[in-house]
Amino acid sequence: MSPKTDRPTRRRAAEVKGKVEELEKRLAALEGHLRLLRSQARQSTGSAKERLTRLEKQTVARAEQVRETFQKSLERVSQVLNASRERVERETGRLRRALRAGVRAGTEAYRRGQKG
C-alpha cells in the first residue's frame, strides 16, 4: 500500500480517536458535575434543594445520552475494524496464492530451460 493511499485511513483513524477522546472528556466532565450537584443537593434545603435535584436529573439524563453515544461510536469503530481486518485477510490470501502461483510458474520455466 502506498503512503498516498494510506493517508486518508490514518486521518480517519485520528479523527475517530479524537472524537472518542472528546466523548470521554465530556462524560468525565458530566460525571464530575453530577457529583458536585449531588453533594450540593444533600446540603441544601427548600427550593434550592428542589432546583438542584432537578439539575441532577437533567445531568443524569445528559450523562446517559453521552454514554449511549459513546457506546454506539465504539460499536461502529469495532464494525469498521472488523470489516477492515476481513478485507486485509482476503487481500493477503489473494497475494499469497498469486505469489505461490508465480513461484511454481518460475520453477517450471526454469526446469524447462534446464531440459532444453
Q: pTM above 0.85?
A: no
Q: What percent of the chain has pLDDT over 70?
A: 91
Average pLDDT on 11-31 reads: 81
What is the pLDDT, as a whole number, of residue 1?
45
Eight-class DSSP state of 116? -
| H-state helical runs in the chain | 3-43, 46-115
- Which secondary structure element, helix H or strand E, spans residue 44, and what is its range? none
Residue 104, pLDDT > 50, answer yes
Q: What percent of the chain has pLDDT over 90?
A: 20
Residue 116, pLDDT > 70, answer no
Q: Which residue reads 459513546 in cell numbers?
A: 70
The three cell numbers locating residue 7: 493517508
